[in-house]
Every structure is written in C-alpha cells, then in structure tokens.
Amino acid sequence: MVADNTLSIRDLRAGYASLDILNGVTLDIPQGQFVALMGPNGAGKSTLLKTIFGMTQHKGGNIGWNGGDIAGKTSRHVLGQGISYVPQGRCNFPLMTVQENLEMAAYTIRDAGVKSDRDYVYDLFPALKTRRSTLAGNMSGGEQQLLEVAMAVLQRPKLLLVDEPSVGLSPAAIGVVFKELIRLQKEGLSILLVEQNTRKAMEVADRAVILRLGEVIWDGRPADISHDELGDLFLTGRMRTEHETSRHKETLSV
C-alpha cells in the first residue's frame, strides 16, 4: 500500500506575509514512522504542517519528498504526491452524510478503484460503516474526528499530517482516535502528529520532536525524555542541569 518515502526537511523557513514563524527547521520522517511534534503555543507546530501542505508563504529551504522538492507547491500538488492533512477542528461537511463526506474526499481520484478504497476505509473504521447514512454534524466529536481521518485516508496518502486531533474530545473519544492512528501506522502509513496532550502523544509515537520559536530544539525517543524535562524545554528551551534540579528540589522542600 505504501511505497518507500522519507520526508526530508532542510532549513525550512516559512510564515505569513511579513511574519516569520519557521526559522530553519530540519527534520526527517522515515517511511512508517509515527512522529509527535510538540512545543509551547506559538512554536510553529501547526505552521509546519501547513507549510508541508502548501498553505503558508515559503521563504526558504527544502521539503524533499518522492524524489522532488515540494516546498512552495500548492496543496493540490502536495495531495497528489501522497500527503494528506487533517487540520485542527471540525473539517467535514456537517449537512452531508458520512457516505457523502467520503465521496467528497475522493473527488480528486478518477480511477475505478474508488469504491474498493471506500470499502477498505469502512473496514478500517467499522463505527463509520454503521453511521454511513448519518449526517456528519449529528455525530459525536470523536466520531467526526474519525470521519476526518477516514476522509484523509481515502486520498491514498503515504504520509498523514494530523493537527491536534484530541481538541474538544472526551478521554474515551481520544483513546479511540489514537487507537485508529496507531493501527494506520502499523499498516505502513507515516504520521506527523501535532498534539497538545503530550502524555498521550508520547505514549503512541516512535519519536518526539520539540519545536520552540520556529526551530527544532529536541529530537529523540519519547522514552529518553521525562515530562519534567519536557516542561523545561517548553518554558526555557533547555533542560535544567543536575545542580539546578537539586536546587529546585531544595526550594520545594522548604
């Protein structure tokens, strides 16, 4: 299902008009890897996803993918290259049924395999199959988030960009959404996830990448960083030294 593809970002700079947000991001995402992109508000996480998908002003650097450079290309071009994007917040057609939403998601696919692709998506997400005639807007937040992931999967991606899927969901719904993302990754799909729920993100990801002020400041396995260290990076951009940690504990004990 998924060809051998690595996303290779080099010195990427981007933003909106005169506002610079990304200030030289360098990052690789090998095929089949689940990468959690984290950082404080304003770090550039969502902007990075949007820049990959051609939705910001590209100001420099490269995004290597599928043998070419997609930096600055249109979203339609990027989608055609096998990258799908699930933006933050609801992004379905609420007055259309689940079935109609999936049909809309496949509008760029012109071959005869669309029906079998839709059947495959229903097999992946059986909860949607039972709701195929339900208006999307009448479903729960978790069900709508699953629908939006399913719509992206129907576009036959090799890389899935997912922005804050847990926003507004109950803990149970969050668990269902992340379970499905893990299942997609096990089938060979690469995933770049922006997530505010750091504990959940670090539970499911192969790798954690931390952005701050538009730059990568940490990149490694979730097991190699504690939540205290993660908090330090969010707040200050560096981890406390052993001496600073000792002084902090002494202060708390007073």
Q: What are the boundaries of each domain within the chain? A: 7-234
Predicted confidence (pLDDT) per residue in 194-205, tens digit: 998 999 999 999
DSSP 240: P
pLDDT for 65 equals 97
Model confidence at 3: pLDDT above 50: no
When pLDDT is averaged across residues 50-55 and rounded to a whole number, the result is: 98
For the chain, the average pLDDT equals 89
pLDDT for 84 equals 96
- Of residues 218 and 112, more confidently modeled: 218
Task: Show Cβ contacts of residue 12 under 8 Å, excluding neighbours closer than 6 positions.
Answer: 22, 24, 25, 26, 48, 51, 60, 61, 62, 63, 71
Predicted confidence (pLDDT) per residue in 76-124, tens digit: 999 999 999 999 878 899 999 999 999 888 877 766 667 788 888 888 8
Let me know if domain 7-234 sits in CATH 3.40.50.300.
yes
pLDDT for 2 equals 40
pLDDT for 123 equals 87
pLDDT for 52 equals 98
Query: Is 29 within 8 Å of 65 (Cβ atoms)?
Result: no
